[in-house]
Amino acid sequence: MNASDILLGGDDGSLSRSRSCTPNFVSFDKKIGTVSFVTRCTADAWNQKVKFENWDEIVKENPDVKWEDLKDEDIRIACDCPANLYWGYRFIQTELDIAIDLETRFPEKNNPQIEGVACKHILSVLRRYFS
């Protein structure tokens, strides 16, 4: 899945709340193809990671590639906010094979209908930097 696919899978509430967030680029680890961000929506700030799925192949074809030019590539995602874990988004990401951090517990209490794909922080990062 690429960023556009993930944004299309976002639930209406998270997509709406993501518009009030401010994501900021932190770093890019070119060895493993992972971009780090920090996103603030209220007083709290949370950390996100976006990892390019086929990074080794991408770099082999173009050693000077910039992550900003890879908006259509398949990615894996992570956020350390409680919503990503407790509302079942990490479980959904694991099921979709797009999770960096795996979660196998079904979200039977907070999201038994399995709505959405990612928290507002990840959606905010993807909207700003990958769409």
**Tens-of-pLDDT digits for all 131 residues of the chain?**
999 999 999 999 999 999 999 999 999 999 999 999 999 998 899 999 999 999 999 999 999 999 999 999 999 999 999 999 999 999 999 999 999 999 999 999 999 999 999 999 999 999 999 98
Cα-based angle 74, 77, 83 (whole degrees, multiple of 5): 145
Tokens of residue 32, six digits: 């493993």
Q: Which residue range(s) make up the domain with 15?
A: 3-130
pLDDT at 62: 93
Q: What is the pTM of this model?
A: 0.94
SS3 50: strand
How many domains, in total, are found in the chain? Answer: 1
Q: pLDDT tens digit string along 90-118?
A: 999 999 999 999 999 999 999 999 999 99
Contact in structure between 74 and 2 (CB atoms under 8 Å): yes
